[in-house]
Amino acid sequence: MDKVIIFDTTLRDGEQTPGAALNIEEKLEIAQQLERLGVDVIEAGFPISSSGDFEAVRRIAREVRRPTICALAHANAEAVDRAWEALHGAQKPRIHVFLSSSDIHLVHQLKKSRGEMLELARDMVARAKSYTPDVEFSPMDATRSDPAFIYQILQAVIEAGATTVNIPDTVGYTMPGEFSRFIKSVFQEVPNIDRAVVSVHCHNDLGLAVANSLAAIEAGARQVECTINGLGERAGNAALEEIVMSLATRKDLYNLTTGIDTAQIYRTSRLVSEVLGFGVQPNKAIVGANAFRHASGIHQDGVLKERTTYEIIDPKAVGVTGQSIVLGKLSGRHGLKRRLEELGYKLSDEDHDRVYLAFKELADKKREVLDRDLEAIVGEEMRSFTEVYHLDHLQVSCGDKSVPTATVRLISPTGQVLEDATLGTGPVDAVYKAINRLVGVPNNLIEFSVQAATEGIDAIGEVTVRIEGDGKTFMGRGASTDIIVASAKAYMHALNRLLTAREADKKPK
């Protein structure tokens, strides 16, 4: 199969994401991970732009050895010289020269004629060539330029020594079919194009960066410039992970390969996200949190029976591991049963029916049902329940100038009245300490949550607690317009379930 060169510009164009900033050590860390990922070219920075960028390129050039290390330079002698100064320690250096080509840029920004631009492009490529045999040239805003002028520029810079010519869709303007025709025309109209690799660099202003890149590859481009997570100016660049996995997944269509170790994709995405501080949207293709998660019962059933029913990519292929089934109100019986089995519960059909009904009731109230919820549901539905201790009286004293105190009265299983009073860090803490002293059952409170069950100033507060005892989890709920009373009811509910289960375990099987 033919190979597509993966040119990663996360450290250059990706860092131009508004709000992004990387120090030298962070850039080096990302570059080392990009090397592990297997990218062919790392555009490490724009040395003329700042001393920090210069030093980052210099460090990467000396310490990252396998990929080609590229430095950007606008068509200016000082910029080209500065790029080489940063790069000259690299094992495989490349200078990337760029200059605008569209009349919009030439007239309004650069104030130059086409002739002046053509001469400058040729001269600066020749200057870069005097330093290194690997030179790339980009006519910026190529997709809004006169195609005939682009052909003329490309021919000239190839004659001057460019080994890669890049066609940038700088403002994300073009459409896939249109871009494909443009790339094909480059091969037809530039007589010396066989002496250079044709590259593309697509921006995502209309959400078409990946589509345009793939269209260009299909038309014959053999280098694609992209970034991790699609970072970059404005709406960003073509996302490396989407291009690579499109080529890998549709080998039947493209018959192309890359040198990327796809198992490193997820790790690289997370590193870039953490270092730059930009989260990845949950529904982002390939690396989003939901990319391989299934909430629909129909989808869960299909995936559990055969992964490829609803997954065209094996999550492990991109380095994603862990649970892919999301349990919620749309989940079906098969998804619930599989997760319970993974948690170690083997239920009869009858028991599973009861647990499923309780699960659906909880899922209607909660967006996602977690493993702890399932454990508590099983604990509730699989164990008969009786009230062992009854909460008979509760009184609390607290305030910002007083020590929280709780007085609790319980009725024991034998009808005995038990009372105690304790201090706590807060009113709920004081109540729970008093109850624990009276009941005397070791347990750990592992979850405590409060929410309003109704609206208004007289809203009923609903408290849910989970406790762990005897190696099992027990859930308790309580509701009251007094949140402290609701907290006490919830705790007693959970404790009574624990005590009931303990008694049941003592009975002969």
CATH, residue 440: 3.30.160.270
Residue 102 placed within a domain: yes
Quickly state the pLDDT bin for 73 (edges 50, 70, 90).
very high
Q: Give Cβ neighbours of residue 323 (< 8 Å, ≥ 6 apart).
A: 339, 342
Asked if residue 482 and residue 440 are part of one domain, the reply reads yes
pLDDT in tens, 180-193: 999 999 999 999 99
Average pLDDT over residues 68-84: 97
Least confident of 46-50, 226-230, 287-291, 435-439: 287-291
Q: What is the pLDDT of residue 199?
A: 98
Phi/psi zone of residue 127: left (φ > 0), alpha (ψ -120 to 50 degrees), beta? alpha
- Could you tell me the pLDDT band of residue 132, with boundaries at 50, 70 and 90? very high
Is the confidence at residue 383, as pLDDT, over 90? Answer: no
Boundary (domain end) residue, out of 339, 362, 381: 381
Which pLDDT belongs to residue 27? 95
308 and 168 both lie in a single domain: no
Please report whether residue 223 resides in a domain.
Answer: yes
What is the model's pLDDT at position 125?
98
Query: Which of 381, 412, 446 is at the close of a domain?
Result: 381
Contact call for residues 426 and 401 (beta carbons, < 8 A): no
Q: What distance in Å separates the CA atoms of residue 247 and residue 257, rounded to the nearest whole number?
A: 7
Evaluate whether residue 282 is within a structural domain. no
User: Structure tokens of 250?
Assistant: 């549709």
Residue 285 lies in a domain: no
The answer to whether position 290 is within a domain reads no
Query: Looking at the predicted structure, is the pLDDT value of residue 455 above 60?
Result: no
Average pLDDT over residues 85-109: 92
User: CATH code at 375?
Assistant: 1.10.238
Return the higher-pLDDT residue of 496 and 206.
Answer: 206
Which CATH number fits the domain that encloses residue 133? 3.20.20.70
Q: Are residues 359 and 484 in the same domain?
A: no
- Split at pLDDT 50, 70, 90, the class of 375 is low
Residue 385 clears pLDDT 60, i.e. is over it = no
- Residues 497 and 352 grouped into a single domain: no
pLDDT of residue 35: 98
Position 454 scores a pLDDT of 46
* pLDDT confidence band for 297 (50 / 70 / 90): low
Q: Please tell me what DSSP assigns to residue 109.
A: I
pLDDT value at position 280?
87
pLDDT of residue 244: 98
Name the domain boundary from 381, 407, 441: 381
Listed ranges 13-27, 242-256, 324-338, 379-393; the one with the highest mean pLDDT: 242-256
pLDDT recorded at residue 296? 63
Phi-psi label, residue 355: left if phi above 0, alpha if psi -120 to 50, beta otherwise: alpha
pLDDT reading at 295 higher than 60: no
Residue 480 in any domain: the answer is: yes
Sequence-distant (≥ 6) Cβ neighbours of residue 210 within 8 angstroms: 202, 204, 230, 238, 239, 242, 243, 246
Residue 224 falls inside a structural domain: yes
Q: Residue 382 — pLDDT band, cuts 50, 70, 90?
A: low
> What total number of domains does the chain contain?
3
Over 60: is that where the pLDDT of 396 sits?
A: yes
Give the residue-averaged pLDDT of 222-226.
98
- The answer for residues whose C-beta is within 8 angstroms of residue 341's C-beta and 6 or more apart is none
Q: Which residues contact 86 (CB under 8 A, 6 or more apart)?
A: 45, 47, 54, 55, 57, 58, 61, 71
Among 134-138, 235-239, 471-475, the minimum mean pLDDT is found in: 471-475
Task: Judge if 62 and 188 occupy the same domain.
Answer: yes
Question: Do 415 and 502 have their domain in common?
Answer: yes
Q: Are 445 and 411 contained in the same domain?
A: yes
Identify the pLDDT of residue 384: 46
DSSP 133: S
Q: Are residues 52 and 177 in the same domain?
A: yes
- pLDDT of 24 > 70? The answer is yes
Are 350 and 431 part of one and the same domain?
no
> Is the pLDDT reported for residue 334 higher than 90?
no
CB 420 within 8 A of CB 408: yes
Are residues 125 and 148 located together in one domain of the fold?
yes
Percentage above 70 pLDDT, the chain: 89
Range with the poorest average pLDDT among 250-254, 285-289, 413-417: 285-289
- Note down the domain range covering 37: 2-276
Which position has the higher pLDDT, 81 or 109?
A: 81
| Band of pLDDT at residue 332, cut at 50, 70 and 90 | confident
Residues 228 and 106 in one domain: yes
Q: Does position 152 have pLDDT exceeding 60, yes or no? A: yes
Regarding predicted confidence, which is higher, 427 or 112?
427
Burial 344-372 (b: 16+ CB within 10 A, else e): ebebeeeebebbbebbbebbeebeebeee
Asked if residue 459 is part of any domain, the answer here is yes
Q: Are residues 73 and 216 in the same domain?
A: yes
